[in-house]
Structure 1
Amino acid sequence: MRKVAVIGGKRIPFVKSFREYNRVSNQEMLTACLHALVSTYQLEGARIGDVALGALLNRSTEWNFARECVLGTALDPHTPAYNVQRACGTSLDAAIQLGLRIAAGQIETGIAGGSDTNSDLPLMLQQQLSWKLTALRAAKTLGERLRILSSIRFRELSPLYPSIVEPRTGLSMGQHTEKMVQEWGISRQDQDALAYTSHMNATRAYIAGFFEGLVIPFKNVSRDTIIRSDTTPDKLAMLKPAFDHSGKGTLTAGNSTIYTDGAAALLLASEEYAQRRQWPVQAYLTDGETAAVDYVHGEGLLMAPTYAVARLLKRNNLRLQDFDVYEIHEAFCGQVLCTLKAWEDAAYCKKLGLDAPLGSIDRSKLNTKGGSVAIGHPFAATGARIVAQTAKMLQERGEGRALVSICTAGGMGVTAILER
């Protein structure tokens, strides 16, 4: 098996939805990231082994989304591409898939990425109206057309908006997380404290110049706009619950990710190919794991990474404490804290097939350049953002091992190990 090198990543600034990137498409955002990779690594005219890209909020007409993004760049048009979709873990899963093919010797290079926008929503027709319009197109006579048109009801003209709820429960991710934090006894104060740390870490990273080379200007925006350098624990404490208004709610707009527009892409290669191109290797993607939970029958919706990490550690003969960097996606600060507490719980870890708890981590190693609550969370882009950020951190350290963990809608989780 060949080693899978993370060469580098590029992303556009992540921004609050319905603002700077209003009416900008997923394809335009992600193509900008690919352009930056092509320019930085001199890939003009190069044929990449494969390109795996995805978006959650995509139009049905963009069925060949990834390929169209590639054709919009200076890459050799013989470069193949395919769509990936695993909710918030999309671009991390894309990186793992390409990494496996590189390790197996099928391809030498790959680009993984993702994009999402709420500011260019793909609205849908009511199902009844879709059926009638399909029948209208097939109608042969004027009488048939008039009969179909007269059957359309006013209520059927109302469009359907994409909704971030679980189809099997009808609950939003935030509502599910409220259940989780109540089950695990996670306080509002602890959630706000993690949110504050996320913003401060991201602020310090920008001041130190960490994001130079990672974040490229786009649409007159040069840096992430969601980071609140001026936030304080007192300001966070003043925010009202966002998902549960019964008086018991602890999730707010301050300790949860907000709707975000953005895109990110990541260049991977075999170690041998990187050496031939004289590309410095930032880190190596050594393993990945996915998992799912039965959230419909009581398991926490966003707890699947607990299973995935347990399997990942066992396969690699590692302890939870054997990492220098922990990048745990902050869909909600409460979800991160539930995960950490579950790993410390003997009864829960027994359910994971373990004889003892995985234990605690050193919190000073967690999301040290800012997490999703501060930076933002364009669903399919987050995995590539985190891997690129983590690889650069390991490069700057000169050595180390990192654990990446992302929870997703549908009760799934995607995790990976990076090393240098």
Structure 2
Amino acid sequence: MSIKKVAIVGYNRTPFVRHNGVFANATNQDLLVATLSGLIDKYNLHNKRLGEVAGGSVIKHISESNLVRESVMKTSLDPATPGCDIQQACDTGIESAIYIANKIALGQIESGIACGVEAMSNIPFETNARLRKILLKANGEKSTFGKLKQLLKAKIKDFIPIPYKGKEPETGLVMGEHTEITAKYYGITREDQDQLALLSHLNMAKAYDEGFYNDMITPYLGISVDNNLRRDTTFEKLSKLRPAFDKQNGTLTAGNSTPFTDGASAVLLASEDWALKNNLPILAYITQAEIAGIEYVKNQHNLLLAPVVAADRMLKRANMRLGEFDYYEIHEAFAAQVLATLKIWESDQLSKEFGLDQALGTIDRNKLNVKGSSLAAAHPFAATGGRIIATLAKLLNEKGSGKGLISICAARGQGVTMILEK
């Protein structure tokens, strides 16, 4: 059986917006339908039956168990188009692309959409276990008196909702606390973190000014640009921000870390034949991808560093070297995480701690996140993968040739890398 080439032929997303702002009342489905509908309009997919739409959200309500299929049904795609929910923390968007790409490569489908969405403004609150049991017992009572009797067992404190904090269950630490440990362990300075954050904003502002994002974003609720972008930020302003996680000795701040964000993204993938038949351009090809997981409970400094391992495996399989790419898109969950990844790739000693034979090498920093990345655009967890794939595919298409490497870290000690080629 021959393996088909997998082309990226389209992209679309909403603006990425800080949570509890303009998109405060938008649900995961609202945002995902808006993104899918924009993609459908842009590439004339109305009434078409695609092979599959796959994607998901990291934080979903119990009512959103079939989020993608339900969203597809609210668009103008042929309702015979299947939908599948996928969830792998911040890898969700790119893992969805791998899922669709593999089906195309095997000839199971000819086209598909990979998507991701996060409505952090509408994440569900938890209730405590005691109140849950009381409510279940009340629901099981047949009489109004019986229900009331059960409900009266609840105390006022039982009704206090438990907000989402994003803690790692195995360690009790949030990502920022883990990354503070990362920064200290690998000697990542506050100055270097702030410089990386500043460059992300400068690069994205320039990209907007050049019109790079004009065809990539569908306006939603009156917003047409990413509102986390700070055009007026400076190194001096960033350096004055207080530490966000380790208040006394920390180096991570609101300026060099990503905030909770609302947004959605989608990429259209296809075989070459389907793209040609539908008069769609082949922007780039997905040629390699690798998922990795690493231990992070004992080695708490390594939570977000699984891409180190993923990149090594992927490059070996592709018989390629780290330094030979035209562009590098490394997800900026935190500036310290990006800088630690680069430092490990450059060091034989540090690489061996991850089981690598040797360092992968250095990259040309002038080729890194050239249109800005997550520190400027912000980070709706499941939507980031689609944003990054789209950005790199457009860069390669505009160049007319070349190779690009993607690296995305995720919770639970996971990470994914991907190669795009034109």
Residue 350 of structure 1 pairs with residue 349 of structure 2 = no
Checking the alignment, whether the CA contact within 8 Å between 1:310 and 1:352 is kept in structure 2 is no
5+ long unaligned stretches in structure 1? none
Match of 1:126 in 2: 128
Q: How far apart are 1:82 and its partner, in Å?
A: 1.0
Name the CA distance, whole Å, in 1 between partners of 2:334 and 2:244: 12
Between Structure 1 and Structure 2, how many residues are aligned? 419
Match of 2:319 in 1: 317
Match of 2:183 in 1: 181
Q: Per-residue CA shift, 1:298-341, capped at 9, x if unaligned?
A: 15111101011111101101111121110000000000000000
Q: How far apart are 1:42 and its partner, in Å?
A: 1.0
Match for residue 382 of structure 1 among 381, 384, 399: 384
Checking the alignment, whether the CA contact within 8 Å between 2:309 and 2:356 is kept in structure 1 is no
Q: How far apart are 1:172 and its partner, in Å?
A: 1.0
Match of 2:295 in 1: 294
Match of 2:233 in 1: 231
5+ long unaligned stretches in structure 2? none
Q: How far apart are 1:71 and its partner, in Å?
A: 0.6
Name the CA distance, whole Å, in 2 between partners of 1:354 and 1:179: 22
Name the CA distance, whole Å, in 1 between partners of 2:232 and 2:352: 42
Match of 1:196 in 2: 198
Name the SS for the 2:139 alignment partner: helix
Residue 406 of structure 1 pairs with residue 413 of structure 2 = no
Name the CA distance, whole Å, in 1 between partners of 2:160 and 2:38: 40
Q: What is the percentage of aligned positions where both structures have the same residue?
A: 47
Q: How far apart are 1:142 and its partner, in Å?
A: 4.8
Q: How far apart are 1:86 and its partner, in Å?
A: 0.6
Checking the alignment, whether the CA contact within 8 Å between 2:31 and 2:264 is kept in structure 1 is yes
Residue 144 of structure 1 pairs with residue 143 of structure 2 = no
Q: Which AA in structure 2 matches 1:169?
A: T
Match of 1:329 in 2: 331
Q: Per-residue CA shift, 1:213-245, capped at 9, x if unaligned?
A: 101111001111111111111111111111101
Q: How far apart are 1:65 and its partner, in Å?
A: 0.5
1:150-165 aligned within 5 A? 150-165=152-167
Checking the alignment, whether the CA contact within 8 Å between 1:15 and 1:21 is kept in structure 2 is yes
Match of 2:260 in 1: 259
Q: Which AA in structure 2 matches 1:212?
A: N
Match of 1:396 in 2: 398
Residue 41 of structure 1 pairs with residue 43 of structure 2 = yes
Q: 1:146 to 1:120 in 2, by over 3 A?
A: closer
Match of 1:102 in 2: 104
Match of 1:219 in 2: 221
Match of 2:63 in 1: 61
Checking the alignment, whether the CA contact within 8 Å between 2:31 and 2:119 is kept in structure 1 is no
Name the SS for the 1:155 alignment partner: helix
Greater mean deviation of Cα atoms: 75-84 or 131-140: 131-140
Name the SS for the 1:321 alignment partner: helix
Residue 278 of structure 1 pairs with residue 265 of structure 2 = no
Q: Which AA in structure 2 matches 1:400?
A: G
TM-score between the two structures when normalised by the length of structure 1: 0.98
Q: Which AA in structure 2 matches 1:365?
A: K
Name the SS for the 2:322 alignment partner: coil
Q: How far apart are 1:352 and its partner, in Å?
A: 4.0
Q: Per-residue CA shift, 1:82-101, capped at 9, x if unaligned?
A: 11111111010000011001
Match of 2:114 in 1: 112
Checking the alignment, whether the CA contact within 8 Å between 1:262 and 1:381 is kept in structure 2 is yes
Q: Per-residue CA shift, 1:359-408, capped at 9, x if unaligned?
A: 11100000000010001100110000100111011100101111111101
Q: How far apart are 1:356 and its partner, in Å?
A: 2.3
Greater mean deviation of Cα atoms: 127-136 or 103-112: 127-136
Name the CA distance, whole Å, in 1 between partners of 2:369 and 2:409: 15
Checking the alignment, whether the CA contact within 8 Å between 2:167 and 2:174 is kept in structure 1 is yes
Q: 1:384 to 1:141 in 2, by over 3 A?
A: same
User: Which aligned segments of 4 or more residues in structure 1 are displaced greater than 4 angstroms?
Assistant: none
Match of 1:2 in 2: 4
Greater mean deviation of Cα atoms: 126-135 or 335-344: 126-135
Q: Per-residue CA shift, 1:183-241, capped at 9, x if unaligned?
A: 11010000001001100000110011000110111100111111111111111111111
Name the CA distance, whole Å, in 2 between partners of 1:142 and 1:394: 66
Checking the alignment, whether the CA contact within 8 Å between 2:10 and 2:43 is kept in structure 1 is no
Q: How far apart are 1:8 and its partner, in Å?
A: 1.4
TM-score between the two structures when normalised by the length of structure 2: 0.97
Name the CA distance, whole Å, in 1 between partners of 2:148 and 2:29: 38
Name the SS for the 1:340 alignment partner: helix
Name the CA distance, whole Å, in 2 between partners of 1:175 and 1:101: 38
